[in-house]
Amino acid sequence: MESEYFDKKKTIELRKKHIGPSCKVFFSHDPIKIVRAKGQYMYDEKGEQYLDCVNNVAHVGHSHPDVVKAGTRQMGLLNTNSRFLHDNLVRYAQRLQATLPDRLSVCYFVNSGSEANDLALRLAWQYTGHKDVITLDHAYHGHLSSLIDISPYKFHQLSNTEPKRSIHVAPSPDVYRGKYRADHPDPAKAYADEVEEIIHQAHEKGGKIAAFIAESLQSCGGQVIPPVGYFQKVAEHVRRAGGVFIADEVQVGFGRIGSHFWAFQLHGEDFVPDIVTMGKPIGNGHPMSCVVTTREVAEAFMSSGMEYFNTFGGNPVSCAIGLAVLDVMEKEDLQGNALRVGRHLTKLLERQKENHPLVGDVRGHGLFVGVELVRDRVKLTPATAEAQEVIYK
């Protein structure tokens, strides 16, 4: 019987011919061709099973039947845009809002984490009337031009590595290998003071702060867990300067950290960002995302007089899928699962630390867990090649 799949060589050949060369594949010397997936497993064209340790999107498991059913049902009924009234849109907004502090009550539905962060910047610029943005070192916030500008993780790869004049890079609040470490008497204050100093310097040069943006826990930037109190103090400095606090929850939101639904909630009930951006797991692989903000920020955005329209954002199919993801999370207690499995995983990794001097640090919350490999536990020399090898294996 003829296979429905191309021979792998042919897929690679066609990919080289027609797909942009900067789009990379996993395991480039022998890429894996995955043709289906279920739950935590992926299968290649020969039926070989792989445990999926790299997708941070298939939040409730690949091809979850409830999510597939919700999407299929709505696709068979209607798909259109948010200029029509539809209950899926308002029902979904209501459900998302119920997971957030009351102040965060207004949603904009978009299609990717990048779109969400770009819109968050537009909201901040419009609300504050200011232009300058403070971002963290090593941060990644997306692939749009506006976001490469605030993503040192990306712009450091370019030959011209200087950020734009209106972009300011604060040190990553990394208490393992950063400027202020766990032995510092108050790393939260010390890192927040750095932000305050950046604000002073920006003011001296005539800049005005529109926003501070950070992932609630830095992911690509090195699985960094900011010291408790840091965000509150930063928010005070930034708001005093007339700016807003944007929490990027694209990677770390939706219960992944186990103890809370959103990672910014680790900082206590008195800390509420002005804007929260969401993506990746929100649709379990379906391209959708969201920006949630306060009534005041949304009203200011409205006052520009420009309509906000997004062809696909908030369409009835995406909202049906988003609702199904939330239902599955509740029904299967996936947040509780993240807490329990995360604790178990962390315990096992801690044991590896006892056995292997290469393991410098194990840190995380729930199923957001990082292991830092070092050649020397005192000098913290990065074990880059070793880390590559472990990741590859």
Please report, as ranges, the residues that interact with ligand PLP according to CB under 6 A.
Answer: 112-114, 117, 140-143, 215, 219-220, 248, 250-251, 279
Minimum gap (Å) between residue 7 Cβ and ligand PLP: 30
How wide is the angle at C-alpha 156 spanned by C-alphas 359 and 290, nearest 5°? 85
Q: What is the distance between the alpha carbons of residues 207 and 209, in angstroms, rounded to a whole number?
A: 7
Question: Which is closer to ligand PLP, CB of 227 or CB of 281?
Answer: 281
Tokens read off for 35: 């043709």
Q: Are strands 244-248 and 209-215 parallel, antiparallel or unpaired?
A: parallel
Question: Which is closer to ligand PLP, CB of 180 or CB of 245?
Answer: 245
Q: What is the distance between the alpha carbons of residues 351 and 349, in angstroms, rounded to a whole number?
A: 5
Tokens read off for 136: 């963290």
Question: Which is closer to ligand PLP, CB of 247 or CB of 326?
Answer: 247
Minimum gap (Å) between residue 204 Cβ and ligand PLP: 31
Question: In the chain, at which residue ranges do the beta strands (DSSP E only) sit?
Answer: 34-38, 41-44, 49-51, 106-110, 132-136, 167-170, 209-215, 244-248, 275-278, 289-293, 359-365, 368-376, 381-382
Minimum gap (Å) between residue 367 Cβ and ligand PLP: 15
Q: What is the distance between the alpha carbons of residues 52 and 38, in angstroms, rounded to a whole number?
A: 10
Question: Which is closer to ligand PLP, CB of 104 or CB of 374?
Answer: 104
Minimum gap (Å) between residue 274 Cβ and ligand PLP: 17
CA dihedral sign of residues 71, 72, 75, 78: negative
Minimum gap (Å) between residue 153 Cβ and ligand PLP: 9
Q: By Cβ distance, which residue is nearest to ligand PLP?
A: 113
Minimum gap (Å) between residue 338 Cβ and ligand PLP: 18
Give, in order, the Cα–Cα distances in Å from 37 to each of 51, 127, 213, 223, 290. Answer: 10, 43, 35, 27, 26
**Which residues are CB-contacts of 329 (< 8 A; sequence separation ≥ 6)?**
59, 60, 254, 255, 335
Question: Which is closer to ligand PLP, CB of 121 or CB of 241?
Answer: 121
Question: Which is closer to ligand PLP, CB of 195 or CB of 288?
Answer: 288
Residues in the chain, total? 393
Tokens 């990794």, located at residue: 349
Minimum gap (Å) between residue 291 Cβ and ligand PLP: 12
Question: Does residue 203 contact residue 197 with C-beta atoms inside 8 Å?
Answer: no
Question: Which is closer to ligand PLP, CB of 119 or CB of 234?
Answer: 119
Question: Which is closer to ligand PLP, CB of 147 or CB of 338?
Answer: 147
Minimum gap (Å) between residue 180 Cβ and ligand PLP: 23
